[in-house]
């Protein structure tokens, strides 16, 4: 796929309309904070996020401060930790019944477990697509936090998974953007022959491999089967497409990536791409800004990169139009004594003004209508917004859409696959056993 630069406001408006049409957005008439500022509001809100990274933390701190400035009687206690520490922390807080008023969550079963445990407030009356607040979001983003027809999460961004590539390296190896998995493997062989690493890959914390498997499963297993298997009450994982996905991942690694990836961090691998040592990296659109001059990339990278979706193998039996990704979100503690205040703050957080600022400051796409403008975006981010609009559905991250034991079996299994200690069939045996355990536990 070839991305052409769009720098005019008219082109950006066209792209925005495309993605909102594809996601089925509601009204986009709101141009300001959808909640009426009320300086008389009082109370203390506790909030935990996973955005401790210095690149991201100041934005969240700034929004909290702005709300407190507008509401002198409100205090927001904001705690921000890293990705993996957050998973550990939220597990402890849930077990001790000490969740904050507002807490971060990934979509899928990670969020659903809070709903099943009665730890997430039902926000349907506030944020359903036909409400004043809900109509300002792309409905696909809201749907990601829908459970049994009710809405429990507030989406804060749009995130898709793409293969970024160095156009100069592709030209030097005389390879085109691959349209099939077979073409990707051939391209990797040609790139390797020029002396570069085809794909920068680090799997120290497990999730980078899981993102590959999320996309491959979606393309190799029928959607109805995936939905049944990802549900802890009905999961079986007997479809041969799961083993096929693991084998395809193994093929990608053997043709395209260096060995020892279990000991390499994703960020270290990314540094190789940014240094011109690797031709590709599979990344989230939330990471796109690091490849720009504003994000610190050298001209050799900033002026010569583009992206494409991980392609399907010929004859894949699943949904080849699915795109790995999902919005991140915030949930409100069902047991909070400050639900109304928490909801008011989240309305402020997701106002069009703050959504536009998020895109400008962080380079993240927002599910809020009208948030992407000619002044706060760049060509590749604009183009990925349009591409998301063509996706048949979001394939939610495998380690958050599945039950925790199943996710752990996949994580450890894929690490074993990379180290050579497990075969695809052995990995799936462990996943099946975890699914049986989850079903028996009623999770």
Instruction: State pLDDT tens for residues 149-165.
Output: 999 999 999 999 999 99
Checking if the pLDDT of 32 tops 90, the result is no
Q: Are residues 128 and 233 in the same domain?
A: no
User: The domain that contains 165 carries what CATH number?
Assistant: 3.40.190.10
Residue 3 lies in a domain: no
Q: Are residues 339 and 416 in the same domain?
A: no
Q: Are residues 191 and 239 in the same domain?
A: yes
Q: Are residues 120 and 17 in the same domain?
A: yes
> In this structure, what are the phi and psi dihedrals at residue 49, rounded to the nearest 5 degrees?
-125, 175
**Res. 3 pLDDT band, cuts 50 70 90:** very low
Q: Are residues 344 and 240 in the same domain?
A: no
Residue 4 lies in a domain: no
The residue written with tokens 């702005």 in the block is: 66
Q: What three-state secondary structure class fits 199?
A: strand
Residue 199 lies in a domain: yes
CA distance 201 to 209: 9
Instruction: State pLDDT tens for residues 315-369.
Output: 999 999 999 999 999 999 999 999 999 999 999 999 999 999 999 999 899 999 8
Asked if residue 327 lies in contact with residue 364, where contact means CB atoms within 8 angstroms, the answer is no
Handedness of CA 39, 127, 60, 372 (dihedral sign): negative
Residue 369 lies in a domain: yes
Q: Above pLDDT 90, what percent of the chain?
A: 80
Q: Are residues 36 and 97 in the same domain?
A: yes
Does the global pTM surpass 0.85?
no
For residue 63, give the nearest of 402, 427, 414, 354 by alpha carbon. Answer: 354
Domain residues for 283?
A: 161-323+403-440
Q: Are residues 319 and 337 in the same domain?
A: no
Residue 68 lies in a domain: yes
Q: Are residues 304 and 337 in the same domain?
A: no
Domain count, the chain: 2
Instruction: State pLDDT tens for residues 391-428.
Output: 888 899 999 899 999 999 999 999 999 999 999 999 99
Asked if residue 197 lies in contact with residue 297, where contact means CB atoms within 8 angstroms, the answer is no
> In this structure, what are the phi and psi dihedrals at residue 164, rounded to the nearest 5 degrees?
-85, 150
* pLDDT score, position 443: 58
* pLDDT score, position 206: 94
Residue 90 lies in a domain: yes
Q: Are residues 301 and 222 in the same domain?
A: yes
Residue 29 lies in a domain: yes
Q: DSSP states of 230-272 as a string? A: HSTTT-----HHHHHHHHHHHHHHHHHS-S-GGGS-HHHHHHH
Instruction: State pLDDT tens for residues 77-109.
Output: 999 999 889 999 999 999 999 999 999 999 988
Q: Are residues 268 and 148 in the same domain?
A: no
Q: Are residues 309 and 351 in the same domain?
A: no
Here the tokens at position 127 are 């944020």
Residue 432 lies in a domain: yes
Q: Are residues 261 and 188 in the same domain?
A: yes
* pLDDT score, position 74: 97
| Cα radius of gyration rounded to whole Å, the chain | 21
């Amino acid at each position: 796929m070839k991305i052409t630069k769009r720098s005019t406001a008219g082109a950006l408006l066209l792209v925005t309309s495309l993605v909102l049409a594809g996601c089925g957005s509601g009204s986009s008439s709101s141009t300001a904070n959808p909640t009426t500022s009320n300086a008389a509001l009082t109370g203390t809100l506790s909030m935990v996020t996973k955005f401790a990274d210095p690149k991201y933390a100041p934005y969240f701190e700034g929004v909290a401060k702005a709300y407190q400035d507008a509401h002198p009687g409100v205090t927001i206690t904001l705690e921000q930790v890293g990705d993996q520490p957050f998973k550990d922390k939220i597990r402890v807080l849930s077990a001790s019944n000490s969740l904050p008023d507002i807490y971060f969550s990934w979509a899928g079963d990670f969020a659903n477990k809070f709903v099943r445990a009665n730890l997430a407030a039902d926000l349907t009356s506030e944020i359903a697509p036909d409400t004043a607040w809900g109509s300002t979001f792309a409905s696909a983003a809201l749907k990601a936090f829908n459970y049994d027809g009710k809405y429990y999460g507030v989406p804060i961004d749009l995130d898709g998974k793409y293969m970024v590539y160095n156009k100069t390296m592709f030209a030097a190896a005389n390879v085109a953007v691959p349209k099939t998995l077979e073409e990707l493997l051939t391209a990797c062989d040609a790139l390797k022959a020029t002396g570069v690493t085809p794909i920068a890959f680090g799997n120290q914390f497990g999730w980078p491999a899981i993102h590959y498997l999320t996309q491959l499963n979606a393309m190799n297993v029928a959607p109805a089967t995936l939905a049944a298997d990802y549900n802890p009450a009905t999961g079986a994982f007997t479809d041969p497409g799961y083993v096929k996905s693991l084998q395809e991942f193994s093929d990608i690694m053997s043709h395209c990536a260096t060995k020892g990836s279990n000991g390499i961090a994703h960020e270290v691998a990314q540094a190789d791409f940014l240094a011109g040592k690797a031709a590709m990296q599979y990344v989230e659109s939330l990471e796109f800004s690091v490849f720009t001059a504003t994000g610190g990339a050298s001209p050799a990278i900033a002026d010569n990169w583009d992206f494409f979706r991980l392609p399907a193998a010929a004859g894949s039996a699943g949904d080849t139009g699915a795109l790995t990704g999902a919005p991140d979100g915030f949930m409100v503690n069902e047991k909070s004594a400050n639900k109304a205040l928490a909801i008011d703050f989240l309305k402020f957080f997701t106002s069009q003004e703050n959504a536009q600022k998020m895109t400008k400051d962080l380079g993240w796409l927002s599910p809020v209508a009208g948030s992407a403008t000619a002044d706060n975006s760049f060509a590749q981010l604009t183009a990925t917004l349009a591409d998301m609009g063509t996706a048949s559905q979001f394939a939610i991250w495998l380690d958050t859409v599945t039950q925790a034991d199943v996710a752990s079996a996949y994580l450890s299994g894929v690490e074993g696959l990379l180290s050579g200690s497990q075969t695809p069939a052995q990995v799936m045996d462990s996943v099946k056993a975890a699914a049986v355990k989850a079903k028996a536990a009623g999770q």
